[in-house]
Each structure stands twice: as C-alpha cells, then as structure tokens.
Structure 1
C-alpha cells in the first residue's frame, strides 16, 4: 500500500491536487501576460492589464477573478478604484523560474527578447538581468556578500550603511538570497537586500523604470556610480 496520502475527503489536504489547480490557473496565455506584467512589482488597474494582455475588459475581469481565487494575484481597493498585484514574492519567484525554463528550452525565444530587457529589468521588487548578475558577482568577490549569497558580511553591512542603504534587521522576509536569473542563468540579489538596492538606485536616479514594462534603464549617473562603488 502506498505511503502517500491520496485521500480526497473534505478537509484533507492533497498537495498534488493543489499543484494541479495552481498550474491550471496559469495555463492560459492571456493570464500569463497579466502575471508577467505584474512582475514589475507595481499595482495595475484592470484597464491597464487589459491593454497589455490585448484582450477585452470583460475577459480581463474573468481572468483576474481566476488569478485572485488561485492566490496568484491580490486585489487592492482604494476608494472606487481597484488595483491588482502579485500575491507575494514567492509567486514572483515561481514566474521567474518558468521564464528561465522556457527561455533556455526555446532558441527562437532568445532572439525575440529585447536587448534592454536582458540588460536590466525588474524581478518583482529587485533588479535582474546582466547588470544585476554583475552586481551580485561583485558583492561576493569583494567580500560584501557571503559566498552562498545568504547574508551580508560585516564589511558588506558597513559599506552599504556608508552608502546610505538601510537593511531592516526585523524584516520577516529573507535578508538576502541568491535569485537565479532566467536570462543569465546566474544569480542576482533577491530578498530584502535586493529590494533595498533597487529602491536606493531609483531614489539616487541611478536607474529609471520604463513605465508599463519591466525594462530598467541605467542612467549615465548610474553607470558612473555603479562603476565607482561596485566596480561594474
């Protein structure tokens, strides 16, 4: 007799069934377009998502209801307006992994990805792409980040504090973690540190987001400062 729990009685938890339901909620190209758009970390209106997915508003509403029910997306109400964003960073990580699998498996897809997107983009609330991978490597090489990317070193904490980058010691999420970049197949900085770095870069005008897209532009000032402080 199998040791695995295959019971389907009400109240029983069946992981395989839950996984299948989650996959089913994602198994639509339009819903995937919506999820990928939300990877920029912002909250979008249904109208904006309708435009990016190139589908009718009524269809978008049905898709969003399905995504909210599956806990892939959450709905935020502000007055009469409703906004949608990814449910959490774990969903963003799942999408990033799927992007990596499909990107590596399909040669035609590689040639269709815009160069700017490969260079720098958002991965939910942190920076991804070639620039982000170089940043991760630099932090490790210069002993700011532990070899496994799990935490800052004492020197790293001091250097970032000198730059003005604040790391909340009471954060409930991982302070920092290696996040596998889907286009580079190497790590970039995720977790609380990754989010803090992106906020810092934006506030200092080192990077600029392309509104409505995941692309991130490194400004001339950013190029100079990243080279100065991180040697990239």
Structure 2
C-alpha cells in the first residue's frame, strides 16, 4: 500500500492545457504580434487581434498566467512581451506545421508577402532575408558546421530546433562582423543558434549573434520595423550594405 504523500506531486506534462490556450485565434494573433521581441500595450494588442479591450485583457491574463507572456506597468499602461526566446521558437515551429490561412483581403495579402520577405523571429531576422544572410555567412566562412539546409528526419529534429547542427563563428568571421559594427555578445546565452524558417524551410540565424546582427541592421538604418507587426523593410542604404557586405542582391 503506497502512501500518496510519497508520490510525485505532478505526472506527465499537460500538452492539452497549452494546446487549449493556443486554440483561440485571438490569443494566437496576440502572440504573433509580439514575436518581434518588443513590448506592446494592451490597446495595440487588442487592435492587432481585432477584439475589444476587455476581451484582450482576459486573453492577456491567461497568457501571462501560463508563462507565455510577461507584463510591466508604466503609469496607467501595461506592456506585454513574450516571456523569452523559447516562446518565439515555439511560434516559429508551430508556423512550420500549421496550414496556411487563406488571404481574404489586399491588406492581408500585402502583410503576408512582407512577412515572408523579411520579419523578426523574436529578436533575430527571419524570412527570405534571414535565410539569405545565413547562407551568406556560410559561403563567406563567417560560420562553419552546417549548410543552411533543413534535413528533415536526418540531422535536424523538430523536437530540438536550433541545436542539432553545430554552427560556430570563425575567427575571420568575428573580425568581419566587428568591421561592419556588429557587437559580439558575451554572457551565458549561446552565441550561435538557428531556427528552421517556417516560410523558407531553411535555417536562419538565431542566438546571441542573431540578435546582434539585427541590432546592427536597425541602428545602421539598414532595416526598419513595421509600426505594429513583425515585418521588416530593407532601406536603400540597407540594400547597398547587403550587396557590398554580404553579396545579397535585394530587390527594391
């Protein structure tokens, strides 16, 4: 006869609870709106999700209680952001597995095209631009260890995204990045990680280096964020920098 007090306090993980939380379209739109690493107020998130302020408050509370979001109060406003890069990775992986949502308006079609072209994935560059930067880094020996391709069922496991292929920053690559103003990060966060890009089905750069590259592109004016969602726009100076520094011919 076992004493219940000697048994573990929890059983297996409750995937169904998380799935139920993500089953609501409005909550998913909130998470997607925050997948650029920024903190946004509840009012903006309500507009992005197409719901009332009171309904948004309820959804945001549930997402925060589940540990997917964090919240900070500034004056009368509450600002929400993703709880960490692992939430961004979760969104990106779900994007790979989820069916495409039909485009029902010109506005949706324009946004979808921009997201596929260049966007943020939490705190790094994704989409066609992110994949081309990763490819350039490999071709110019900035990174070694992989070919940038997603090898389904081989070396890339969806259960461990960004950790199966061991990319490393070369010494020459570090010098090259410093020359163009990328501040290489220090600290406990892994320097080089990758995500399997859900629109391109290839690797894009993540980790501390991915964030440093995005920061440099933004501060140099090579990229501009969209006001409220995660699309990125390559500027005229950015196109010139992509061509001269990375060998990328980005269309106007």
The normalised TM-score by structure 2 is: 0.82
Gaps of 5+ in 2: 147-165
| Paired position in structure 1 for 2:150 | none
Give the direction of change, closer, same or farther, for the CA distance of 1:14–1:146 in structure 2 (3 Å limit): farther
Aligned residue for 2:134? 136
Matches of 1:11 and 1:74, distance apart in 2: 29
2-side partners of 1:143 and 1:14: how far apart?
47
Choose the corresponding residue for 2:210, options 194, 212, 222.
194
Match of 1:156 among 173, 184, 189: 173
State the match for 2:219 in structure 1.
203
Between stretches 53-62 and 20-29, larger displacement belongs to: 20-29
| Number of the residue aligned with 2:156 | none
Question: Which among 21, 26, 31 is matched to residue 22 of structure 2?
Answer: 26
1:1-232 equivalences under 5 Å are 12-17=9-14, 19-102=15-98, 105-106=99-100, 108=102, 112=109, 114-148=112-146, 150-170=167-187, 172-232=188-248
State the Cα RMSD in Å. Answer: 2.1
1:143–1:156: 8 Å Cα contact kept in structure 2?
A: yes
Between the aligned partners of 2:201 and 2:52, the Cα distance in structure 1 is: 36
- 1:156-195: CA deviations, max 9, x gaps? 111111222111232x221111111110010110011111
- The alignment partner of 2:13 has SS state of helix
User: Contact 2:134/2:205 (CA < 8 Å) preserved in 1?
Assistant: yes
- Return 140-149 or 39-48, whichever deviates more: 140-149
Structure 1, unaligned runs of 5 or more: 1-6
Q: Deviations over 1:110-158 (max 9, x none)?
A: x956222211011111111111101101101111012236321111111
* Number of equivalent positions: 221
For the Cα contact (< 8 Å) 2:195–2:204, is it kept in 1?
yes
TM-score, L = length of structure 1: 0.88
- How far has the Cα of 1:90 moved from its partner? 0.1
